[in-house]
């Protein structure tokens, strides 16, 4: 019995991608950018904890729901066929139970936030549940991911100031551009499987011009963040940080133009979690 319990715990860990928290960081960073800016560089420890833990919980819930929706597709994709549901490590009812528990944890965190933020959270849950279906309906599901990941920036701002203003909207738009860029890089791993199955992907949509499209997305992201910095009168070090990040992205675009292996694509995708952290550091230093 102990072995069975251990196996289930391991399967749940794999379901929520516990060993790989790049996705959590990518979801968390825009929220923290907005939270730090809204609080003029000094957010409360309570709000920091809520948005950090909330990012982990909602990303985990998103992974569980995504796997429930995509079980049949995952069976046909080499990279995903060993996930807990397609491999039989977990039953669907068990994955549903995990998803419900995670939503319950997210709901508990909301009890510490103001009513307007709670109202906005309904949109966040809706986006989490919409995203897995996007690839079946549109050619650019990465844009839906960007909206879902950027929504937290608006929630974080409202949690501090109780109104929506220009800076969080620009951070939201920057996140949409950013997510389309880095998730296109991620999607290059599955291009052939996605084409065979018939699901949408910007890696397929952009084709051999993916490096151009990704470059335009990164340019859009940087333009939005520069506008945020100018609107909020953030210090020079913020712009220095953006300059360094822009150089890193330029190097990545050249690597993409030359061609990426699956391993290269995964490593480059994961590097964007740390790019997000670097931008957060820029916000913190620029506001001190």
Per the structure block, which two tokens stand in for 12? 């749940």
- Mean pLDDT to the nearest integer, 75-101: 91
Q: Domains in the chain, start-ordered, CATH in brackets?
A: 2-287 (1.10.357.140)
User: CB neighbours (10 Å) of residue 284?
Assistant: 19
pLDDT at site 2 = 43
Note the pLDDT tens digit of each residue in 129-175: 999 999 899 999 999 999 999 999 999 999 999 999 999 999 999 99
Report how far residue 12's alpha carbon sits from residue 89's, in angstroms, rounded to the nearest whole number.
Answer: 9
User: CB neighbours (10 Å) of residue 193?
Assistant: 17
pLDDT surpassing 80 at residue 188? yes
Report how far residue 225's alpha carbon sits from residue 223's, in angstroms, rounded to the nearest whole number.
Answer: 6
What integer best gives the mean pLDDT of the chain?
95
pLDDT at site 80 = 86
8 Å CB contact between 152 and 124: yes
Higher pLDDT, 58 or 288: 58
pLDDT at site 78 = 77
- Mean pLDDT to the nearest integer, 41-49: 97
Q: Which helix (H) or strand (E) holds 147?
A: helix 141-161
Note the pLDDT tens digit of each residue in 198-223: 889 999 999 999 999 999 999 999 99
pLDDT surpassing 70 at residue 3? no
**Which position has the token pair 């995504």?**
66
pLDDT band at 1 (very low <50, low <70, confident <90, very high): very low
Report how far residue 246's alpha carbon sits from residue 174's, in angstroms, rounded to the nearest whole number.
Answer: 13
Would you say the pTM of this structure is higher than 0.85?
yes
pLDDT at site 4 = 82
pLDDT at site 44 = 97
- Mean pLDDT to the nearest integer, 46-54: 98
pLDDT at site 79 = 81
Note the pLDDT tens digit of each residue in 224-273: 999 999 999 999 999 999 999 999 999 999 999 999 999 999 999 999 99
8 Å CB contact between 187 and 214: no
């Amino acid at each position: 019995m102990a072995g069975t319990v251990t196996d289930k715990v391991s399967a749940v860990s794999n379901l929520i991608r516990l060993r790989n928290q790049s996705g959590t960081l990518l979801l968390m960073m825009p929220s923290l950018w907005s939270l730090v800016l809204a609080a003029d560089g000094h957010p409360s420890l309570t709000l920091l904890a809520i948005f950090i833990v909330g990012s982990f919980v909602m990303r985990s819930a998103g992974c569980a729901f995504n796997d429930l929706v995509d079980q049949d597709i995952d069976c046909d994709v080499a990279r995903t066929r060993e996930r807990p549901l397609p491999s039989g490590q977990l039953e669907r009812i068990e994955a549903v139970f995990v998803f419900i528990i995670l939503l319950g944890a997210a709901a508990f965190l909301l009890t510490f936030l103001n009513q307007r933020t709670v109202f906005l959270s309904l949109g966040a849950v809706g986006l989490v549940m919409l995203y897995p279906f996007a690839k079946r309906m549109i050619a650019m599901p990465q844009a839906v991911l960007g909206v879902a990941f950027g929504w937290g920036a608006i929630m974080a701002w409202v949690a501090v100031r109780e109104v929506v203003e220009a800076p969080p909207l620009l951070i939201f738009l920057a996140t949409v551009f950013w997510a389309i860029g880095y998730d296109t890089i991620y999607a290059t791993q599955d291009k052939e499987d996605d084409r065979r199955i018939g699901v949408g992907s910007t890696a397929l949509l952009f084709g051999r011009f993916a490096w151009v499209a990704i470059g335009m997305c990164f340019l859009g992201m940087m333009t939005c963040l520069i506008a945020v910095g100018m609107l909020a009168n953030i210090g020079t070090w913020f712009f220095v940080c953006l300059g360094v990040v822009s150089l890193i992205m330029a190097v990545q675009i050249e690597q993409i133009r030359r061609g990426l292996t699956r391993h290269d694509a995964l490593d480059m995708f994961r590097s964007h979690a740390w790019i997000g952290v670097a931008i957060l550091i820029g916000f913190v230093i620029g506001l001190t």
